[in-house]
Amino acid sequence: MKQLGLAVILLLFMTPLAHAEAKGHCGEMLKEAQAAVDHGKAGHANAVAEHADAMLKHGTECEKESTAKDKVKEAMKHEQEASEHGKAGHVDIALHHAEVALKAAQEATK
């Protein structure tokens, strides 16, 4: 029983690291996508736009490194929308696009 508890604890601690292992521009793209979502949830429209723009810069380079180019392109398409809506002050719409972009970025970095 003690071993099962330890296994569950290890699994819980290791799960968030699955996406943290992404390196280079793809890893940075993923971090910026997550930051855009976090700021969107906090209601910070301008910060969503800033992180979305940073994500786009890394996404361009990540596309060259990645074998999941379609997912990178999808993430970038939605981050572009998140950036535009964030700059316009539409935090709810920006957040939606940032969340879709984050999911695509996570899939691209698996």
**pLDDT, position 14:** 40
Classified by CATH at the fold level, domain 2-108 comes out as Four Helix Bundle (Hemerythrin (Met), subunit A) (1.20.120)
Longest dimension (CA), the chain: 54
Residue keyed to tokens 């992404």: 22
Q: Are 62 and 15 in contact (CB under 8 A)?
A: no
| pLDDT tens figures, 18-33 | 344 568 999 999 999 9
- In the block, tokens 């596309």 appear at 63
pLDDT at 12 over 60: no
Contacts of 10 (CB under 8 A, 6+ apart): none
CA distances from 35 to 1, 10, 83 (A): 38, 25, 13
Pairwise CA distance, residues 67 & 38, whole Å:
27
State pLDDT tens for residues 33-60: 999 999 999 999 999 999 999 999 999 9
The three-class DSSP label of residue 67 is coil
pLDDT score recorded for residue 110: 86
